[in-house]
Amino acid sequence: MKKQGDYTRISEKIMSLATPIFSNKKYFDKKYINEPEYLQMYRLHSRICGLLAEIGLSLNFIVDINRRYTIAPVKKDGGRFQRQAESDISFIEKSSDLPIVLIDYETSDAPIYKMQEKFKYLSSFKKENESIQIISLFITVTEVQHNWNKETYKERKSFAQKEILRLIKKIYEKDYNHNLKFLLGVFYKDHLELKLFQNKKEIKKRICKY
């Protein structure tokens, strides 16, 4: 197992590699809606996950897609407990075949309540999977909205800049997450904002203009 400083460097490399991968993309601004590079929701999730997987391959990890993990039980409505959850992308260490990085991505059709709920699961992976060192969530704050989702751009921006920081801090209330690195990526229509957290504190920030 690497030292904690090594995982901080891996987190910073993920942030660094995301910059050229997402620069000059036209996925998120509705003014490009008639251009081939603009992607609707059903394509956007697949494309972004594919690009994030490229980062893992660049770092010499094996990449698993939609891998299911045992997690610390999460109580759902009705009293039932969920004991497994999926991660969109997993970076797997070749020498040990163990997961090191988990990444999830939410497009702009994901309502705020769904992203709030997701933090219950993001905070529960490491208890049953001690090898996990970095958990990352990428979300989308754009004007692209489905008809049934009436949240405004202002509301989603407020969630991304304020409430989500409170949810990240709650992850560290669980003892087994004390040394976990949390990488937040927010896709706005004209830039990607990346923030790296450890033990409730933001330790690195990076902006990628499209």
DSSP string, 146-178: -TT----HHHHHHIIIIIHHHHHHHHTTSGGGT
Residue pLDDT, tens place only, 167-191: 999 999 999 999 999 999 999 988 9
* pLDDT value for 116: 94
pTM: 0.91
Higher pLDDT, 78 or 157: 157
The model's pLDDT over 107-126, given as tens digits with 9 standing for 90+, comes to 888 889 989 999 999 999 99
Q: Percent of the chain, pLDDT > 90?
A: 71
Q: Over 80: is that where the pLDDT of 72 sits?
A: yes
